[in-house]
Amino acid sequence: MSKLIFGYGSLMNRESLLSTVPTATDIRPAIVKGFTRDFSVWDEEGWVSTNLDVSGKPFCALDIHITDDATLLVNGIVFAIPDEDLPKLLAREHDYTTIRTTAYDFVTRQIIGETLVFSSGKNNGKYDKDSLAQQRYWDVCSAAAREYGDDFYQMFIDTTRLPFDLNVGKEKLK
C-alpha cells in the first residue's frame, strides 16, 4: 500500500523530497481547500541533509492552518510513498502532525484522493529576514513553485502570507 502526501513548502523541491523518500512517485501539482499558509514554525534543527553550507542554522518554516473558509486554497504537490517509507517522512517533518484532507488536481480541480498534510499549529516562529538559512529556505520553496509554471508560482505567492516585501530585491524573483 501507499500513502498520498501533500507538500507545500520544501517538499515541493524534488531534490529535497527525494533526499528523504527516494521512492516518492506520481509527483504532481495539487491544491487543498480550507487552509492558509504562512511562515510560523521555528525549525531549531535547520537543514540537515541538503544545503549543508547552512546546516544546523535555525529558520522559520512554512506551515498551513485549517480555516472555516472552504474557498481558501493552498497549492503544493501530491506524491505517493510506500507505507514503509512514511516513518522517514514523519521523522523529517517531526515538528508537524498530519491531517487528512482531500487533494485536488491543480489544473482540473478534479479530486485526486485523500491525502495527508503536515500542519503544526505551533505558531512559534517568525521569519528572520537577515538569516542566510531563512533566505535559502525561501529560495528552495519559491524555486520549486516556479518549476510548476507561472500560474502555480503566482498562486504560491498569492496564498502565502509573506512577512517581507516581494518588491524588494525584485531581481531575485525573476
Q: Give me the pLDDT at residue 56, please.
A: 72
As a CATH number, domain 2-173 is 3.10.490.10
- For residues 79 and 5, the answer to whether their CB atoms sit within 8 Å is yes
- For residues 7 and 77, the answer to whether their CB atoms sit within 8 Å is yes
Q: Give me the pLDDT at residue 48, please.
A: 63
pTM: 0.89
Q: Give me the pLDDT at residue 59, please.
A: 81
Q: Give me the pLDDT at residue 147, please.
A: 97
Average pLDDT taken over every residue of the chain = 89
pLDDT 10s digits, 117-132: 999 988 888 888 888 8
Q: Name residues of the chain where pLDDT drops below 50.
A: 168-174
